[in-house]
Amino acid sequence: MSRAVHVRAFFDYNPEHDSLLPCPEVGLAFKKGDILCVVDRDDQNWWQAYVLNRDGPTGLIPSAELEERRRAFVPKENIYTRQTVACGLIQSKRRRHERYQTRKNYVFDRSDIVIYEEVQEMPPFQRKTLVLLGAQGVGRRILKNKLIDSDYRRFGTAVAHTSRRPREGEENGLDYYFALRPEMEDDIRQNRFLEYGEYADNLYGTTYDAIRAVNRSGKMCVLDINPQSLKLLRNSEFLPLVVFIKAPELESLRMIHEAAKAAGETEKQVTDQDLQKTVDESARLERAHNHLFDVVIVNSNLEETFLQLQQAIEDMASKRQWVPVDWVYDSPLINPTTSC
């Protein structure tokens, strides 16, 4: 029998709406973000599991393979291979070997379709990086600067690289790391940049080493990056706490920008059209990437959002937390103790 594992679900499931499950009463309903204890994965299409910390019996959930094939529009008649299903009983003609045993990838998917992620419960520990995700104009940069200003000894940020020439008063290593364009292009080819881009014919970017330098100084590195870059940072070396700053309703967002301008925190002029784009982009980002979020904060008020952000950081140091299992295997953290 396959070993029991904990997984975080990245989708909602209701067996009453599953046409592939002949007997809905044997299915297990769950919500996105629930921690499931999977006690049997020997069947190709259906796993047996229960929702952690919720009273109720063990039930059937779609296997990662079945759910991937369903989402990839594989014909239903091809999903039921080498098995028959009866109410309350699954009979397989042969025992399947365990899948998803690759050392570096414990997310139960073989493509961009995210189904389940194997996790372990850990005692409280502090994350090494803080990643603020959100739409442009939602206030991430203000929150980032406000957090660093609140405690320079605890928080820092990675100094970016650029190929442009220094301006008067700018200091190398403080404002930017100034480099020649061929040097930056070579570093990009060597995959030394977490992310990079070009503006006004100059390259800008953040290197992994710049993040490591902040961590080596004993500080939490605060970053505002895009979700695609987060996928490269979400590992046992950088241990990110991912906070999604969600846009509020349009009127609240307008008031936030007016308050930020009055406080001298921004000089940017925005229109209602700009603000509506922020609201729409925020909704799109949440739909596409919410499986990566540890915390979601609606930025209806900058001061309240800042307090919630501080509390989320403190919670990591005081509460048990579920993390991707490869963080446990690859990082010298406290050993997990939870089992099904």
Q: Are residues 72 and 181 in the same domain?
A: no
For position 173, which CATH number holds?
A: 3.30.63.10
Residue 325 lies in a domain: no
User: What are the pLDDT digits (tens) for 276-325?
Assistant: 999 999 999 999 898 899 999 999 999 999 999 999 999 998 999 999 99
Residue 187 lies in a domain: yes
Q: Are residues 193 and 61 in the same domain?
A: no
- Averaged over 146-173, what is the pLDDT? 97
Residue 17 lies in a domain: yes
For position 223, which CATH number holds?
A: 3.40.50.300
pLDDT value of residue 106: 43
Q: Are residues 176 and 251 in the same domain?
A: no
User: What are the pLDDT digits (tens) for 9-44?
Assistant: 999 999 999 999 989 999 999 999 999 999 999 999
For position 32, which CATH number holds?
A: 2.30.30.40
User: What are the pLDDT digits (tens) for 129-153?
Assistant: 999 999 999 999 999 999 999 999 9
User: What are the pLDDT digits (tens) for 230-245?
Assistant: 989 999 999 999 999 9
Does 87 score more than 50 pLDDT? no
Cα separation, 131 vs 82, in Å, equals 44
**Are the C-beta atoms of residues 117 and 175 closer than 8 Å to each other?**
no
**Are the C-beta atoms of residues 257 and 266 closer than 8 Å to each other?**
yes
Residue 332 lies in a domain: no
Q: Are residues 59 and 117 in the same domain?
A: yes
Q: What's the pLDDT band for 88 if we cut at 50, 70, 90?
A: very low
Q: Are residues 62 and 166 in the same domain?
A: no
Q: Are residues 164 and 267 in the same domain?
A: no
Residue 331 lies in a domain: no
- Averaged over 262-286, what is the pLDDT? 91
Which pairs from 301-309 meet CB under 8 Å and 24+ separation?
301/252, 301/256, 302/139, 302/142, 302/143, 302/146, 302/256, 302/259, 302/260, 305/139, 305/143, 305/245, 306/143, 306/146, 306/147, 309/143, 309/147, 309/243
Global model pTM greater than 0.85: no
Which tops the pLDDT comparison, 224 or 103?
224
Does 97 score more than 60 pLDDT? no
- Number of domains, the chain: 3
Q: Are residues 190 and 111 in the same domain?
A: no
Residue 13 lies in a domain: yes
Q: Which two tokens stand for residue 159?
A: 């100094």
Cβ contacts of 180 within 8 Å, gap of 6 or more: 163
Cα separation, 117 vs 64, in Å, equals 10
Q: Residue 168's domain spans which residues?
A: 157-218
Q: Are residues 240 and 150 in the same domain?
A: yes
- Averaged over 214-225, what is the pLDDT? 97
Q: Are residues 27 and 170 in the same domain?
A: no
Q: Are residues 103 and 134 in the same domain?
A: no
Q: Are residues 101 and 143 in the same domain?
A: no
Q: Are residues 167 and 308 in the same domain?
A: no
